[in-house]
Amino acid sequence: MEAQKILSRFCPKTPSLLLPSHKKLHTLPYVGPKNLGILRLGCSYTEGKKKRVFCVRSTVEEEEAKVVKVGATAPVRRKKLAVFVSGGGSNFKSIHEASLKGSLHGDVLVLVTNKPDCGGAEYARNNGIPVVVFPKVKDGSDGLSPSELVDTLRSFQVDFILLAGFLKLIPVELIRAYENSILNIHPSLLPAFGGKGYYGMKVHKAVIASGARYSGPTIHFVDEHYDTGRILAQCAIPVLANDTADELAFRVLKEEHRLYVEVVEALCEERIVWREDGVPLIRSKDNPNGFC
Ligand SMILES: Nc1nc2c(c(=O)[nH]1)N[C@@H](CN(C=O)c1ccc(C(=O)N[C@@H](CCC(=O)O)C(=O)O)cc1)CN2
Ligand SMILES: NCC(=O)N[C@@H]1O[C@H](COP(=O)([O-])[O-])[C@@H](O)[C@H]1O
């Protein structure tokens, strides 16, 4: 209900029926022929004068399919994701498509942006994903404060936050509320070519100008500063002698789409482990004793 109230302030077009997966569903046993399924009654809430109740029906098999068995037998709960964008959102789309395809054991429940008209926000609205504006635009009524953003993400019961071309500094309130649960993708091999001023094409132009022979995406945990959080994954690709910044950007972005989906799949399957010295590792899906 809280999410609905906050959202209605900034995103009037937000679908009135909030995504069931973050509403508390009351599961009632289905009385009828054995094993035909469970009738799940969505909780009711008032919208204006109307009381809205929605029901979904799922079979026992569908319920079980929502739980992935990883490693030995421990069932892993499907994760709730928030994605932050400022631009076209191609990484966001790749992650959403992997979720719809079923390879990614999570759902994108909310999109956060500082540019409500960007391509990523448009894609979200076209796919029924609520859009939240953050940070507040200067002397404008639109947008959430850091504490309202934390409350909104908590109302959606978000497990992980994925930055994908978001160009504003994440405030310390959110870092503290989502410790070791915020990832970012950066289009260079950090720590090289990172930090304030290094985003989008500026990164690729700096790489070309430096004469570096390799570049590629880095996925890292987010701390209070730009691009200084613990590195989780990287992929090196050659910089060709006659590469333009656009040609390099195109090849790096393609690798980003592959790498981010692979990393978020591991995140949702709880395959991220922390080495004693604080370095995060990704446990291999095929070999529980190996790492990616
Ligand atoms: N607390 C953190 N917030 C963010 C991080 C992070 O690591 N910690 N990563 C960035 C994403 N990013 C690089 O991956 C990045 C984005 C933007 C900038 C930057 O210099 N921004 C400009 C403003 C640009 C604009 O408004 O158009 C600036 O701050 O002057 C650097 C790195 C997301 N947030
Ligand atoms: N420093 C942050 C940064 O530069 N991020 C970069 O913005 C692009 C967003 O593309 P997308 O909107 O198509 O996913 C991506 O290349 C991402 O690495």
Is 287 part of a structural domain of the chain? no
Pocket test for ligand 2, best of 113, 256, 257 (most atoms within 8 A of CB): 256
Q: What pLDDT is recorded for position 288?
A: 83
State whether 88 and 69 are in the same domain. no
pTM: 0.81
State whether 161 and 256 are in the same domain. yes
Say whether 220 is catalytic. Answer: no
Domain total of the chain:
2
Is 284 part of a structural domain of the chain? no
- 219: containing domain: 79-278
State whether 37 and 111 are in the same domain. no
Q: pLDDT by residue (tens digit) across 178-208?
A: 999 999 999 999 999 999 999 999 999 999 9
State whether 62 and 193 are in the same domain. no
State whether 63 and 85 are in the same domain. no
Question: Mean pLDDT over all residues of the chain?
Answer: 84
CATH code for position 237: 3.40.50.170
Q: pLDDT by residue (tens digit) across 22-42?
A: 444 343 333 444 433 333 333
State whether 24 and 111 are in the same domain. no
195 sits in the region (left: phi over 0; alpha: psi -120 to 50; else beta) called left
Which of 73, 91, 123 is a domain's end point?
73
**Separation in Å, CA 62 to CA 32, 56, 58:** 17, 12, 6
129 C-alpha vs ligand 1 centroid, how far in Å? 24
State whether 105 and 206 are in the same domain. yes
State whether 269 and 171 are in the same domain. yes
State whether 43 and 160 are in the same domain. no
Is 63 part of a structural domain of the chain? yes
Instruction: Kindly tell me if the per-residue pLDDT of 18 is higher than 60.
Output: no
State whether 129 and 264 are in the same domain. yes
Is 130 part of a structural domain of the chain? yes
State whether 138 and 263 are in the same domain. yes
Which of 73, 104, 123 is a domain's end point?
73
145 C-alpha vs ligand 2 centroid, how far in Å? 24
Is 13 part of a structural domain of the chain? yes
29 C-alpha vs ligand 2 centroid, how far in Å? 46
Is 54 part of a structural domain of the chain? yes
Which of 27, 47, 73 is a domain's end point?
73
CA distance 44 to 62: 23
State whether 102 and 143 are in the same domain. yes
Residues with Cβ within 6 A of ligand 2? 85, 87-91, 120, 164-165, 185-187, 198-200, 203, 253, 256
Q: Which of 96, 186, 204, 257 is catalytic?
A: 186
**Separation in Å, CA 163 to CA 34, 168, 195, 204, 269:** 45, 10, 15, 19, 19
Choose the weakest-confidence range: 102-106, 135-139, 270-274.
Answer: 135-139
CB atoms within 10 A of CB 94: 20
Q: Could you report the predicted ipTM of this complex, rounded to two decimals? A: 0.99
Q: Please check whether residue 95 is in contact with residue 264, taking contact to mean a CB–CB distance below 8 angstroms.
A: yes
